[in-house]
Amino acid sequence: MNSKIYTAKIRHQRKDPVRNGFSFSSFFMYLDLDELDILDKKFPLFSYNAWNIFSFYDRDHFTFVDQNGKEHEMITKEKISYTAEKYKGKVTKKKIEIMLEELQLDFQLGKVFLLTNVRNRWYVFNPVSFYYCFDTDGVFRVLFSEVNNTFHQQKMYYITNDDPVKKRFRDMQKKNYYVSPFIDYDTHLTREFEVPNERLIMLIDSVKEDKKVLTTSVIWKKMDMTTKNMLYLLFRYPLLTFMIILYIHWHACKLRYKNVTLYRKEETDKRIVESLTKKS
């Protein structure tokens, strides 16, 4: 069984214009996308494309290919190129294969592992899901980061690797996406991460004009995928994905109370499109 569970300690620290920090415990499932049917049959608390205590649905991922509107499509296609019709009705791993072809990333795909929140009873919200793509020799080749905002929109970023022995990776990309209403769109996201093992560390910073606005660190610890451990998750993190969205809005209220600048989505999207149009 390649699929695992990772418990996590997540820390956020806002540096500018005011200080505001918090930490919380969470868990993610690290799913071998070839094992979804096996997991469904093996574990009574887990289902694939069906309701359960823990459920993985293909339709919860790659939702950006179905986003309507020229603005949203332009923002989404800044980092990737895709033909929406090719993805319809496909399972998640097949969608990864199609995306690799469209991006002309020339290697033979082996395993794809998805580090993500699954549905907890009926609900899920994923701030970000990570697809770790390996070639048929087991070499890590691509990380896709599927970022969601609270407006049911999604944007995909990716990082490639051609070094077969490299274990730690660093990347910086301009965000150009409305995620937090308290951080402007034109910040850069820097990420430092490892290939998942017994422990996994990821550092994500929002940087503007060489100044850190927000720092995020996530430290994961691996657990086996067992019914006993799923029961532990059920009672240790009740209604986790619902609590994530409540947590986001609670801290948004705190930042608003501290008079942090609020960026409106409609205005921000227009500014992003204008900047992308100039760049093209």
Please list, in sequence order, all residues whose beta carbon lies within 8 angstroms of the beta carbon of residue 66, skipping any fewer than 6 positions away.
Answer: 84
pLDDT at 280: 64
Across the strands, what pairs with 112?
Answer: 133
Between the alpha carbon of residue 49 and those of residues 36, 84, 152, 165, 237, the distances in Å are 9, 21, 20, 36, 22
Report the relative pairing of strands 46-48 and 20-32 from DSSP bridges. unpaired
Could you tell me the pTM of the whole model? 0.94
Report the relative pairing of strands 54-56 and 46-48 from DSSP bridges. parallel
pLDDT at 15: 78
Task: Give the C-alpha separation, 32 to 3, whole Å.
Answer: 5
Structure tokens belonging to residue 233:
């998750």
Please list, in sequence order, all residues whose beta carbon lies within 8 angstroms of the beta carbon of residue 85, skipping any fewer than 6 positions away.
Answer: none
DSSP letter (8 states) at residue 118: P
Across the strands, what pairs with 11?
Answer: 23, 217
Task: Give the C-alpha separation, 194 to 226, whole Å.
Answer: 24
Sign of CA dihedral 88, 123, 6, 178: positive
DSSP letter (8 states) at residue 108: -
Say if CB 249 and CB 255 are below 8 A apart.
no
DSSP E strands in 20-101: the ranges are: 20-32, 46-48, 54-56
Task: Give the C-alpha separation, 64 to 6, whole Å.
Answer: 26
Number of CB atoms found within 10 A of residue 248's CB: 14
Question: Which position has the token pair 């399972």?
Answer: 91
- Give DSSP secondary structure letters for 180-193: -TTS-TTPEEEEEE
Amino acid letter, 88: K
Mean pLDDT, each 10-residue run in order, the chain (280 residues): 93 81 87 98 97 96 88 89 93 97 94 95 89 96 94 93 88 91 89 88 89 89 96 89 80 82 90 86
Say if CB 136 and CB 253 are below 8 A apart.
no
From 156, 18, 178, select the one nearest 96 (Cα to Cα).
156
